[in-house]
Structures are given as structure tokens and as C-alpha cells.
Amino acid sequence: MLKKLSLRSRIFVAMILLVAIASVLIAGVTIYQYREQSKDYHKDRLERKEGQIQQSIAYTLQETTYPVTTENLSLIFKDEIYRIADIHNVNFNIYDLEGNLIKTSKPRFRNDSISLHLEPQIINMLSNTVEKRYVQDDMAAGDEYQASYTYIVDDKFKPLGILNLPYYQDNSFNDMELKEFLMRLGVVYLFMLLIAIVLAYFISKYITRSLKTISDKITQTDITKRNEKIFIENPGHEIGKLIESYNDMIDELEISAAKLGRSERERAWREMAKQVAHEIKNPLTPMRLSVQSFERKFNPEDPDVHKKVKEYSRTLIQQIDTLSSIASAFSSFAEMPAQQNENINVVKIVKLALDIFNEKYIHFVADEEEIIAKLDRTQLIRVITNLVKNAIQAIPEVNSPRILVSVVSEGSKVKISVADNGIGIQDGFKDKVFEPKFTTKSSGMGLGLGMVKNIVETYSGSINFTSQPGKGTVFTVIFPKTVKKYNNKRL
């Protein structure tokens, strides 16, 4: 998902995620810190309470008149245990060394097995610890509490009994403080997030602005035209290197394009010269043979001499016409006449171009009587005549030949179609149709469709075709129409 986003979006999302993740981590650390502080507070508080109770017990043992033994603990603390509990505001229990309950400070004692007798595990843990102190986590009525166990000793540090101090952890105050702190922190985080969104938007825009400029220039780079270099004030080091590399590439591209264009033109003209030479040789050979034959067989006294001279002249004229046609085609392709652009009625001009053809199977249709476009009249006629000539040459062996020329208005465009039911174009030749020297005919130079494509593209138009071998071909030419209405006379 993230890979499909633009660089600017990635930077924006990354900055927002960074702030969000940082906020979550800080909140998590804050909660953890509060919990740890609460644990440390209750641990210290339990130790303080335990120490205070032990001091009070030690003082009572010093002041008592009873012998300080385990058996007398119930007598020594008969009433004193309540006084100590009231002073320190905590309840505690006294067990003998076997774990049997001796005395408790609770006003009302529930005689359950847990309170009356300590588990052997507790006594073992207490006796085996170095500090002679054991703290157990437990539950009572759904509340968590800690129970500490320490020895009650005499002045010679001899164990007399076991002091049990239950300690209930009240976290309501800390939880309330944590909740209030998190609420304040949430407001701060929200404010920080809004600031981060604004900053991320402008920072990502600033960072990617230069990259977008470079990207747009690279997208517009075309070897067939002059490309502009990139100039950005005070770019960063990395962007500056990228711009410098792009500008160097543009320089090299222009040099390469110039060399390539010159090479292509030279190659094209060499190929064209070869093609022209070949086409000129074709009529010259029969002309040479005709002259030699006439010279060898000419007899002034032959009664049919006039007829033979006429046939000889007709042969020469045909070959001369072929040479003239070749010269005209080459001249038309090599140098187009100056354009005389004007607002013309395409329907009328196309119909005029078809008037020079006498074939009965050529038909013309138009969906409107007037479609105006700004074109050169002569060039448009040249486009139509070349397309129609190609169509005529494609249907020499068809039983019911048909050529349909149509002019149709499509929105802001005018579409001219020339369709025939001829032999069609083979798939292997479709990519070469508009090449200047390409032809599938036994005669001609193959310059017609190349010239047509050149004319059409000069007027910001397009030409394409569809063809099925054995069924026919449709050439389609599209020109932009003239939008504005003109009061002057349209041609």
C-alpha cells in the first residue's frame, strides 16, 4: 500500500506516524512509570509500617512484667495489641513459631483456617530467607493485598513468634492522578499532532517541489524537439547534483539528436537516391530496346512505316510519362509548396477532389453540407487523391469493386474516411505503410502515403488505418475543425 504512494505522501505519512508512535511510546512509558512508582511507594510504606509495629512490639516486650516467652505473648499483647493497632492505624496478627494464631488486632475475627494457622510453606520461606522476612501477594474479597511475615524477637534476638502484617494497596489516588495526567497529555498530543500535520504538509511539499519540477521536465523530454534545462534557486546538495546531471543529459541528448537526425537524413536520402535511380532505370530499359529495335528494323520503303513510327512514338511517350510521374512524386515528397491556410468547406473540397476520377464505383457521403476547417485547399486535395489512388490500385481484381469516401463531423474534429473492398494489407506490411520508400506495387516509389502523413501531421491531424487481407482497407484522416464562425465567404 505504502509503495503505491507518491514520495510526498510517503514523507507526510512518515512524519505523522513518527509523531503518533512517539506519543504512544511516551504514554506507555508514563503509565509504566506510574505503576512502578506505585509499587515502590507501597513497598516502602509496608516496610515503614512493619518497622513501626516492630518498634512498638519491642518496646512492649521491654516494659512488660511477664516473662518474655512465646507462651506469654498472648498475655503480653492482650490489650497492648489494640493500642498499637490504633496508634499506627493498621491491623496485624501474632502467630507462634508453629504458625498458630496467638493474637489479632481485629475487633471481630472470623475463625477460618487461613487466619488461624499459617501454611507450612510460609514458615519455611520465612526461616530460609537471609533477611528473616517474607512478603506474599494474595487476594481477599477480590482485592489484592500483601502480607508480610517477620519474627518477633527478644532482646537477645531469639525468635518468640511471627508478626503478620496484611497491607491493602489503595491505588485509587494514583489512578486518578494518572487519568488526569493522561487527559492533559492527550490534549498536548492532539495539539502536537495538528502542528505535525501542518508542518508535514509544508515540509513534504518543500522537499518534493524540486523533485516534481525535475520529474515534469523528464516526462516532457523528447528527442524530437529542443528540451529546456532546469534552473532552481538555492537547491540542496543532492537536488543540485540531480539537476546538474539532468542538464548534462539534455546537452548530450541534443548533440546525439543532432547527430542522429543528420545520420537519418543522410541515410534516407541515400536510400531515396537508390530508389529514384532504380525507378528511372525501369522505363529507360524498354526505351533503349525500342530505339535499338527501331534502328535495326527501320525501312523507309516499308508500306507500314507510318504505323510502326506511330507505335514507336507511343511507346516512348509512355515511358517518358512514367519518368515524369517519378520526378513529380519525388519533387512533391522532397519539397512541399508553401501553405495557403484558409477556412474551407471540407465537404466541398473532398467532393471536388473526387471529380477527377471517372470510376463509377467511387461513392461519396457526408453527414453535413458544410464542415469548416482551417487547411490548405491544395494539400487537402493531394491527401484525398493519394488515398483514392491507393484504393483504386488495391481493387484491380475484385468482381464488384467499391470505394466509399465519407466526411463526418465528430465534436471538434472532422473525420475523412476512404474505404475499399480490395486485397487489404498483410500483417507483415502494416508497420511500414507510411515509410517513404515502402511499396508493395510493382511500380511507383511508395512516396504517396508518406507524403499524406506529412501533410496531415502538419495540420495537427492524425491518420490511421484498419485492414483485413482479402476484405479491404479503411484509411481515416482526422483534422481539427474551426470553432469560431467567420462572416467571410467560405470556400
Q: Picking from 33-37, 145-149, 290-294, 476-480, which range would have the lowest pLDDT averaged per residue?
A: 290-294
Whether 486 is in a domain gets the answer no
Q: Picking from 146-155, 254-263, 449-458, which range would have the lowest pLDDT averaged per residue?
A: 254-263
* CATH code of 315's domain: 1.10.287
**What is the residue-averaged pLDDT of the chain?**
78
C-alpha cell at 320: 517518358
**Residue 231 confidence (pLDDT) above 70:** no
Confidence (pLDDT) at 225: 61
Residues 348 and 371 sit within 8 Å (Cβ to Cβ): no
Confidence (pLDDT) at 415: 94
Residue 95 neighbours by CB distance under 10 Å: 25
* Cα–Cα dist 276/327, whole Å: 8
Is there a single domain that holds both residue 324 and residue 246? yes
Q: How many domains does the chain have?
A: 4
State if pTM tops 0.85. no
**Residue 453 confidence (pLDDT) above 90:** no
Is there a single domain that holds both residue 107 and residue 155? yes
**Residue 382 confidence (pLDDT) above 70:** yes
Whether 485 is in a domain gets the answer no
Confidence (pLDDT) at 479: 93
Q: What does the pLDDT look like over 154-198, one tens digit per residue?
A: 888 899 999 998 887 777 777 788 888 888 888 888 888 888 888
Confidence (pLDDT) at 363: 93
Whether 230 is in a domain gets the answer no
Mean per-residue pLDDT, 98-126? 75
Residue that is last in its domain, among 269, 300, 333: 333
Is there a single domain that holds both residue 31 and residue 99? no
Whether 294 is in a domain gets the answer yes
Is there a single domain that holds both residue 139 and residue 127? yes
Is there a single domain that holds both residue 80 and residue 20? no
Whether 76 is in a domain gets the answer yes
Higher pLDDT, 481 or 267: 481
Residue that is last in its domain, among 169, 186, 208: 169
* CATH code of 151's domain: 3.30.450.20
Whether 226 is in a domain gets the answer no
The domain of 402 spans: 340-480
Is there a single domain that holds both residue 113 and residue 193? no
* Cα–Cα dist 161/210, whole Å: 83
Is there a single domain that holds both residue 347 and residue 469? yes
Is there a single domain that holds both residue 369 and residue 475? yes
Is there a single domain that holds both residue 162 and residue 148? yes
Is there a single domain that holds both residue 354 and residue 327? no
Is there a single domain that holds both residue 301 and residue 411? no
